[in-house]
Amino acid sequence: MMTTNLTSLLNQYRTEKRCLAGFNINDIYDLHAVALAANELDLPFMAMTYPPVAELNGTYLCRKMVDGFEKIANNKIYLHLDHSTSVDLCKQAIDDGYDSVMIDGSHHDLKTNIQMTREVVDYARSAGVTVEAEIGKIMGRDVVVQSEDDYLASVADVIALCEEAGPNIVAVGIGTAHGFTPTTPKIHFERLQAIANAVPNPLVLHGGTGIADEDIQKAITMGIAKINIGTIVHTTYMREAHTRINKDVQSAYPPFIMKEVIPEVQAVVLDRLKAVNPHL
Ligand code: 13P
């Protein structure tokens, strides 16, 4: 019997070597596409708002938007705040009913990361909200690294973060990068295994767009219970919308454009869901 409590579900997934897919969504149209794709495989999923989405629309409206999809989705949609570097934004999302928040203190020293994570964990506890922390770094975008030590999560640091701050789930830097990368990222599986041996927490794999299917599947057998997928969703959305709007900008009408864009995004999401769930 599957639980719907997110922390319990992720613990169960880690034990069963399964994985919840989280998709970075930006509005009602890409969320619609993800919900339809998840329905095709009868799966729950996580709708993740990056801080710019949460700040532009407000966490209250994001919550209401996802609530509205209960009539469309066949399974649970978990709403998550992704990569918040702000403790206050995490608190706001918790107050507005998010299922899960990520406090990303990975750019700070370990002590500060632990402090920030602990503050969010303490705040989230009574609301029963899942907290994700990050240790090590996910490369790409503005994260510049000089050596492996700059991004690889150290096992000792993961243990310290888990024991002293108590997050429910942990994103670990093991070589993946956000966005499209010129070459397939080299995942440090031996480090992932060492981390998984050291802590019982479900682990999170970021940078889902650029990771090879077989690497995703291998990581799931080693403790990854949640994967984040973003860039492939929004770039498909923007490209497909752009192509159609460009045909005749004067007569471009959003619902007609989106009616054609949604299936394109849905197909990409379905493809990633199949990579995460090869048994389906
Ligand atoms: P991608 O944009 O590479 O899919 O990564 C998304 C992510 O990890 C969000 O936290």
Nearest protein Cα to ligand 1, atom 9? 228
Report pLDDT for 1.
61
Q: Percent helix, strand and coil across the chain, each rounded to 5?
A: 55, 15, 30
Close Cβ partners of 62 (under 8 Å, ≥ 6 residues apart): 49, 53, 54, 79, 96, 98
Q: How far is the CA of 154 from the centre of ligand 1 (A)?
A: 21
Average pLDDT over residues 146-175: 93
- Binding-site residues sit at 83, 104, 134, 178-179, 206-209, 228-231
Task: Name the residue of 176, 209, 226 whose CB sits within 8 Å of the most ligand 1 atoms, as the mutation to test its pocket.
Answer: 209
Q: Is the pLDDT of residue 4 over 90?
A: no
Overall pTM surpassing 0.75 (yes/no): yes
Residue type, 194: A
Q: Is the pLDDT of residue 137 over 90?
A: no
Q: How far is the CA of 118 from the centre of ligand 1 (A)?
A: 24
Does the 6-276 domain belong in CATH 3.20.20.70? yes
Average pLDDT over residues 134-142: 84
Nearest to 19 by CA among 265, 202, 189: 202
* Pocket of ligand 1, beta carbon within 6 A: 24, 82-83, 178-179, 206-210, 228-232
